[in-house]
Amino acid sequence: MPTLLTRDPSDAVAVLEGGGTCAFPTETVYGLGALARDAEAVEAVFQAKGRPGDNPLIVHVADLEAVEGVATMTEMGRRLLEAFAPGPLTVVLPARSGLAPTVTAGLDTVAVRVPSGIALEIVRGVGAPVVAPSANRSGRPSPTTWQAVLEDLDGRIDAIMQGPPTAIGIESTVVDASSRTPVVLRPGSVTLAQIRDVCPDARNADHGDGTIRSPGTRHRHYAPRATVTVVDLEDAQPGSDAAWIGVSEPPDGYGLATVCADLEDYARRLYDAFRRADAHELTRIEVERVEGDGIEAALSDRLRRAAAR
């Protein structure tokens, strides 16, 4: 069945209400939506993405009251949501029954997010919880434009909302708020320092111990087809077979160069630059190293994952 392209959020609402799959923009990346209480619709999301069944989905809802429809609120969850919802933050909480079992991949917790902008309008319009993983084929970079969704999922999903490019460009911060000590499972544009302003004990996951992990972090992620290397400017190795992505002006000789205005711009343009390098059939991508605790933490996490083989 051909995928419907629409600019009208009410078409997206209608497709979702009818049990279909529809991609739409959030402030982070495009998500592939389906009704979270409809097992067949959720299955269609896993099928379209080619997503492993052991990787649970994020449930998107309109407000804190709706969070309590799918999860048991905790003190830390409430603090985080009051500070950052609607916005690019996902909280993991004890799950309530009623979701399609595949949503949580059999875990007793559920990841919940209140998105902003067009996504909030759509979730409000549906009036029920909506799963929305990033709208890419599993293993590919998350889509930041509707064209990237089309490239990955044309003919595999019911509809795509043709919204604007996404503002942030990397996926939400995921925080396990099920206990007294919140743990950042996936860094994002909401930083650990911002989280500590409301939950002083919050910490990063210790990926060394293998115990506290977001299930999705086990899988290879965010990767273009070209080989990605994280480099400093002085180690750049230009060539017509290579793309450069960074904030510094690179030496001459790259097949493609994306020079970003600042770190936010780097995050916003990274996945699109990956896809452009693949479209130009370049075989190498050099991404400029970033270090720091702010958005740098999220950005360097995505760079590291893309570079992992």
User: Out of 35, 58, 175, 183, which residue is the one contacting ligand TXA (CB under 6 A)?
Assistant: 58
Question: Is residue 182 a contact residue for ligand TXA (CB under 6 A)?
Answer: no
**CB-nearer residue toward Mg ion: 134 or 189:** 134
Question: Is residue 55 a contact residue for ligand TXA (CB under 6 A)?
Answer: yes
Three-state secondary structure call for residue 70: helix
**Which option in ligand TXA, Mg ion, none does residue 21 bind, with CB closer than 5 to 8 A by kind?**
none
Residues lying near Mg ion in the complex (CB under 5 A) = 134
First-to-last alpha carbon distance for the chain, in angstroms, is: 35
Question: Is residue 29 a contact residue for ligand TXA (CB under 6 A)?
Answer: yes
Closest CB to Mg ion: residue number: 134
The piece of 56-64, 154-162, 190-198, 262-270 that touches ligand TXA (CB under 6 A) is 56-64
Strand duo 58-60 + 130-131: pairing:
antiparallel
In SS3 terms, 81-105 reads as HHHHCCCCEEEEEEECECECHHHHC
**CB-nearer residue toward ligand TXA: 39 or 259:** 39
CB of 17 to ligand TXA, least distance (A): 19
**CB-nearer residue toward Mg ion: 6 or 134:** 134
**CB-nearer residue toward ligand TXA: 104 or 244:** 104
Q: What kind and span of H or E run contains 226?
A: none
User: Out of 90, 145, 191, 258, which residue is the one contacting ligand TXA (CB under 6 A)?
Assistant: 90
**CB-nearer residue toward ligand TXA: 119 or 282:** 119
Question: Is residue 174 a contact residue for ligand TXA (CB under 6 A)?
Answer: yes
**C-alpha angle with apex 139: 262 to 122, nearest 5 degrees?**
70
Q: Is 235 exposed, middle or buried (0-12, 13-18, 19+ CB in 10 A)?
A: exposed
**What is the DSSP secondary-structure string of 8-27?**
-HHHHHHHHHTT--EEEE-S
User: Out of 37, 79, 140, 186, which residue is the one contacting ligand TXA (CB under 6 A)?
Assistant: 186
> What proportions of the chain, in percent to the nearest 5, are helix, strand and coil?
35, 20, 45
Three-state secondary structure call for residue 139: coil
CB of 186 to ligand TXA, least distance (A): 6
CA separation for the pair 150, 152 (Å, rounded)? 5
Three-state secondary structure call for residue 6: strand
Which residues contact ligand TXA (rule: CB under 6 A)?
26, 28-29, 31, 55-58, 90, 92, 104, 107, 109-111, 113, 115, 132-134, 171-172, 174, 185-186, 214-217
